[in-house]
Amino acid sequence: MPPAVQERDIQKLIFLLYRHYVDMAVLRLTSAILFASVLGLSHAQTSSGGNNTVLTTCQSIANAISSASSVFYPGSPNYVADISHWANSSTENAVCSVEPGTADDVGAILRILGSSRTSFGVKGGGHSPNPGFSSTKGVEISMARFSEVTYHESSQTVDIGPGLVWENVYAALEPHNVSVVGGRISGVGVSGFTLGGGLSYKANEHGLALDNVQAYELVFPNGTVATVTSADEDLWFGLRGGFNNFGIVTKFTLKTFPQTKIWGGTIAIPSSSLDAAAGAIASYQANVTDPKATINAQFLYASGEVILDLVVFYDAPTPPPGIFEDFLSIPGANASLVSTRTILELVQFEANAAPAEPNILLNASPVKSFTKPIIESVINETKFWGDRLTPESATIVANIVEVFLPSMFSHGPPSAYPPDRSITIAPINLYLGWTNSSATNTMHDALVQSAAQMKAVTIGDGQDVENAAIYTNYALGDAPLESLYGGNVQRLHEIKVKYDPDNVMGLTGGFKF
């Protein structure tokens, strides 16, 4: 059997195992055995063409790094964990993976990659759905060993490693009764989330995650290590929303905030009550001013109908009267999953309800204010594409209305993203998950068309979003830079050339300046 066929078959088998094993440790161990025994991958398979050159680079890295770091090859459980991503469609088979354990070793790795011109990926939590953004067929750098969470009570800050996901951070901070502006579902990585923006349950109170960074430990493309703060004007601007264009971040220092238990969860609303729900969401957007409150309205296609899972959040043990009553009184609404709990419990709960598909892509449509016509458009698009794509093997069709206060972007100084801080642009998050890999182009085009339709409705509603920036962490991988960074693109290009004149970071994936 040809190796390519073997690989497809084994990927299907791994996916089936994923759906039946809850324990990720079991999945990783099983995957490692399957890769080693069925695919029969070995060093010898990289002995021709470009892979031989990459293998030489892997060996050079192994010789250069300290004992705190390691290089792994196919057949190793570490290798399988290092290359695996939240979306299977974002996983690529690297020639080797490397787990650096110190910033100096990251520097040594970058110097070797730059001098050999070897393609590489940098994986934090591995949550990017865009293929090739944090994966590679060259050398995969997994930041898994950068897993510190060090709380500094005197400065009310925390040092966080880029190899973590947000539930790790919440769990470590919970004994200190503090928290940070972080992710909202389990499995979201610290690194990409923070470097791209960081929409959070706490964003109305404190801004984006990038607005709460106090310092970055950055390994430059030439291998040197420095701490970047607001005193470093250009880099500070570029790192806040500019992803991995300027080097590899090995530590984030974030503000912390006192944290009590919160009130939140999911209100399930049937298709028969969507009109009432649309009116309630529009009323909430128009009237709520409490920064502790936020909602996400997840419109889901299910068995030919659209239903709504409405996530409500209040940053205190109980909300004041009047904020969420319109939602709780919707006919058929089931609020049994809403309660007083910790942020960690909410994040873990939301993840447990989310099925995983092997192929996933996201997109976004910009909105200034969610009115009823815009929400009705979201419902219509969910139904239209659900009906149309389900025969093409789309198993999840969802559009998520993310409602924030108009002041949300006002919490920070100028940054790469958002390019305009004078008004908040919220996203409609478009989500497709499907099983048939041959349908990828169809799904991509559907996301483009659906976002364009919802944007047209928003413009028709009187909102000037023609040139509004798309939220970076939801954008399709081929989105034009101007659609994310607007007038900041030229400045970002100049910063990139200044700190990476040899374009070492151009050897890895992502939005490149």
CATH class for the region spanning 262-480: alpha beta
**Average confidence (pLDDT) over 405-412:** 97
Could you read off the pLDDT of 90-145 as tens digits, one per residue? 999 999 999 999 999 999 999 999 999 999 999 999 999 999 999 999 999 999 99
Q: Is the predicted pLDDT of residue 340 greater than 50, yes or no?
A: yes
Q: What are the strands, taking DSSP E only, across 334-421?
A: 339-341, 359-367, 394-403
CA angle 43, 48, 50 (to 5 degrees): 100
**In this predicted structure, what is the pLDDT of residue 174?**
98
**In this predicted structure, what is the pLDDT of residue 362?**
97
Confidence at 394, pLDDT banded by 50, 70, 90: confident
Q: Is the predicted pLDDT of residue 4 greater than 60, yes or no?
A: no
Q: Is the predicted pLDDT of residue 71 greater than 90, yes or no?
A: yes
**In this predicted structure, what is the pLDDT of residue 349?**
87
67 vs 23 pLDDT, higher one: 67
22 vs 315 pLDDT, higher one: 315
Nearest in space to 130 (alpha carbons), one of 472, 438, 488: 472
| Domain residue limits, the chain | 3-142, 149-258+487-507, 262-480
Q: Is the predicted pLDDT of residue 461 greater than 90, yes or no?
A: yes
299 three-class SS? strand
| pLDDT > 90 in the chain, percent | 85
CA angle 196, 198, 202 (to 5 degrees): 170
User: What's the predicted TM-score (pTM) here?
Assistant: 0.88
Mention every residue, 6+ apart, whose C-beta is less than 8 A from residue 370. Answer: 281, 282, 285, 401, 403, 426
Q: Is the predicted pLDDT of residue 31 greater than 50, yes or no?
A: no
Q: Is the predicted pLDDT of residue 184 greater than 80, yes or no?
A: yes
Could you read off the pLDDT of 464-509 as tens digits, one per residue? 999 999 999 999 999 999 999 999 999 999 999 999 999 999 999 9
Instruction: Write a three-state SS string for 398-450.
Output: EEEEEECCCCHHHHCCCCCCCCCCCCCCEEEEEEEEECCHHHHHHHHHHHHHH
Q: Is the predicted pLDDT of residue 80 greater than 80, yes or no?
A: yes
Nearest in space to 432 (alpha carbons), one of 377, 369, 361: 361
Cis ω for the linkage preceding 331 (within 30 of 0): no
**Lowest mean pLDDT segment, chosen from 30-39, 99-108, 314-323:** 30-39
Q: Is the predicted pLDDT of residue 386 greater than 70, yes or no?
A: yes
Q: Which fold has domain 3-142?
A: 3.30.43
**In this predicted structure, what is the pLDDT of residue 367?**
98
DSSP codes, 192-214: HHHHH----TTHHHH--GGGGEE
Mention every residue, 6+ apart, whose C-beta is less than 8 A from residue 423. Answer: 368, 406, 409
Distance from C-alpha of 335 to C-alpha of 327, rounded to nearest angstrom: 9
Q: Is the predicted pLDDT of residue 85 greater than 80, yes or no?
A: yes
Instruction: Extract the tokens encoding 272.
Output: 């028969």
Task: For the beta carbon of residue 181, count every other beta carbon within 10 angstroms.
Answer: 26
Contact between 174 and 342 (Cβ < 8 Å): yes
Distance from C-alpha of 241 to C-alpha of 197, rounded to nearest angstrom: 5
**Average confidence (pLDDT) over 172-189:** 96
As to burial, measured by CB atoms within 10 angstroms (0-12 exposed, 13-18 middle, 19+ buried), residue 266 is buried
**Average confidence (pLDDT) over 325-342:** 97
**CATH classification code of 149-258+487-507:** 3.30.465.10
Confidence at 353, pLDDT banded by 50, 70, 90: low
Q: What is the mean pLDDT of the chain?
A: 90
Confidence at 352, pLDDT banded by 50, 70, 90: low
What is the Cβ-side half-sphere exposure of residue 221, based on CA atoms within 13 angstroms?
22
